[in-house]
Amino acid sequence: MSDSALPVLYSFRRCPYAMRARLALYVSGMVYEHREVVLKNKPAHMLALSPKGTVPVLWLHGTAGSKVLEQSMDIMFWALHQHDPMDWLPASNAGMADALALIAHNDGPFKQQLDRYKYPNRSGLESGVADRDEAAIWLRTLDARLRVQPELAGEHFGMADAAVAPFVRQYAHTNPTWFAAQPWPALAKWLASFESSELFETIMQKHAPWPEPAPIL
C-alpha cells in the first residue's frame, strides 16, 4: 500500500473516543496516517468528510473507492476485523452481547454523568457531585466484576476494556484524591495497569498538529 492510500485518522490525543480508536488500530497492526486535530481550528478536509466535527474520523481511500468511519466503535470493529492478534473481539455471541452492554452503558448514562461531573457549569449545575456519585454506582459494579476476573473482557484485556478504560480514566482524573479514596481496589488496580501499559504509552505519544495544506486556487 502506498503512502497516498494509507487510511487517515483524524484524532485528538486526550479524547477518550479517539483513544479507543487508536488502541484498536495499534493492536490490529494497521498502518495509517495520524492527523492530530486542534479542536478550535478543525481541518476543512475533516469537516468535509464528517460535518459533525468530532474525532475520531477514519478515512479509508484508495483505488477501490472511499469510505468514512465517523464513530469510534465502527473504527474499532473495522480494525479488529482486519486483524485481531490479541483476540480482543469476543469469541462467542454471549461474550459480544456482554461487551456491547458494557460499552452501551459507558457511552450512554456513564458518559452523561461524567460530562456533568467534569463540566457542571456547561449543564447549569453548581456542582457535579450528584452525577459523580451516580456514576460511582456503575463503577462499583465494574469493581465487583474485576474482583472475580482480571479484565472486564474476562481472562485477558479485550475490546470492552479498551472501549471503557479511557472514560474511567477521565473520571478518575477529575478528582484523583477522591477517586483514590474510594473502596474499589480492583477497579483502581485495573486502571493503573492500563495507564502504565506499553499499549497506553504508545497510543498517547504526542503528535504535532496536522498542518492542513492551503487550498489550490
Q: What is the pLDDT of residue 107?
A: 98
pLDDT digits (tens, 9 = 90+) for 184-203: 999 999 999 999 999 999 99
Three cell numbers, residue 4? 497516498
Residue in this structure with the C-alpha cell 452523561, named with its chain if needed: 112
Give Cβ neighbours of residue 65 (< 8 Å, ≥ 6 apart).
none
Average pLDDT over the chain, rounded to whole?
A: 95
Give Cβ neighbours of residue 110 (< 8 Å, ≥ 6 apart).
135, 138, 167, 171
Q: What is the pLDDT of residue 216?
A: 57
Which domains, and CATH codes, for the chain?
3-85 (3.40.30.10), 93-200 (1.20.1050.10)
Q: What is the pLDDT of residue 5?
A: 84
Interval 144-166 mean pLDDT:
98
pLDDT digits (tens, 9 = 90+) for 70-110: 999 999 999 999 999 999 999 999 999 999 999 999 999 99
Cβ atoms of 151 and 190 within 8 Å: the answer is yes
Q: Which of the residue ranges 17-31, 59-73, 167-181 would you say has the lowest mean pLDDT?
A: 59-73
Q: Which of the residue ranges 5-9, 99-103, 113-117 would you say has the lowest mean pLDDT?
A: 5-9
Residue 68's H or E segment, with its range, is: strand 65-69
Q: What is the pLDDT of residue 217?
A: 58
- Tell me how far apart the alpha carbons of residues 130 and 40 are, in angstroms, rounded to a whole number: 30
Q: Give CA 170 to chain center in angstroms.
A: 11
The residue type at 113? Q
Total residue count of the chain as it appears in this document: 217
Cβ atoms of 16 and 169 within 8 Å: the answer is yes
Cβ atoms of 204 and 164 within 8 Å: the answer is no
Residue 20's H or E segment, with its range, is: helix 16-28
* Report field, pTM of the whole predicted structure over 0.85: yes
Three cell numbers, residue 138? 456503575
pLDDT at 204 over 50: yes
pLDDT at 68 over 80: yes
Three cell numbers, residue 196? 502504565
More confident residue, 181 or 65: 181
pLDDT digits (tens, 9 = 90+) for 19-60: 999 999 999 999 999 999 999 999 999 999 999 999 999 999
Q: What is the pLDDT of residue 4?
A: 63
